[in-house]
Structure 1
Amino acid sequence: MKIITVCGLGVGSSLIMKMTVDSAMSQIGLKCHIEHWDMGTVKGRECDLIVTTEGFRKNFADQENVVYVNNIVDVAETKNRLEEYFKKHNLI
């Protein structure tokens, strides 16, 4: 599974989210490849899942493969949101 974490510039927040998602995915027990990108670049990338903050919800309104988090360093919240997504799409 390929996951992309996204923030405005693709440097700070998305890198932190990448580490948080990596920890959450390890706890869930699913293998994945995670990259971090900015809003402009992500539109041209193929992936199975995008993880970003609630602040970018309007930018992904037309996509279903997006998980939104409030706190980018909260592994428990990220894990819960990912598990909800995976269960909804019968991936776990």
Structure 2
Amino acid sequence: MRVVTVCGMGFGTSLMLLMEVQAIAQKHGFSVDGEAVDLGSAKGKTCDFMVASGEIAAELSGESVEVVAIDNLLDKQEIEAKVMPVIRRIADTKGA
């Protein structure tokens, strides 16, 4: 499954989020490929879901995939609680 993580510049927060999402997925037995991008590059990217801060997520509301909004980017428990249901749902849909 593929995730796109998004932040304002595309290399700080989004890269941290990508690494965290991948670590969480791996902990639960899932493999997640991904890309960290800036807001402008995110629109129209092909992926299964997107993860971003609340402010950035609001800008992505028109995307065709689910956008997971994270309020506290340093809260690993929040990230896990919001991302894992999406990963499980996508895995179930794809039969993985």
**Corresponding residue number in structure 2 for 1:49:** 49
Q: TM-score, normalised by structure 2?
A: 0.80
Query: Number of aligned pairs?
Result: 91
CA distance in 1, matches of 2:45, 2:90: 24
**Corresponding residue number in structure 2 for 1:4:** 4
The DSSP-based 3-state class of the residue aligned with 1:3 is strand
Q: Please report how far the alpha carbon of residue 69 of structure 1 lies from its aligned counterpart in structure 2 after TM superposition.
A: 0.9
TM alignment of 1:1-80, pairs within 5 A: 1-63=1-63, 64-80=65-81
CA distance in 2, matches of 1:9, 1:90: 27
Asked whether the 8 Å contact 2:61–2:67 carries over to 1, the reply is no
CA distance in 1, matches of 2:26, 2:74: 15
Q: Please report how far the alpha carbon of residue 33 of structure 1 lies from its aligned counterpart in structure 2 after TM superposition.
A: 0.3
In structure 2, the gaps of 5 or more residues are: none
The DSSP-based 3-state class of the residue aligned with 1:45 is coil
Aligned residue type for 1:65? E
**Corresponding residue number in structure 1 for 2:82:** 81
In structure 1, the gaps of 5 or more residues are: none
Cα root mean square deviation, aligned: 1.8
Asked whether the 8 Å contact 1:2–1:34 carries over to 2, the reply is yes
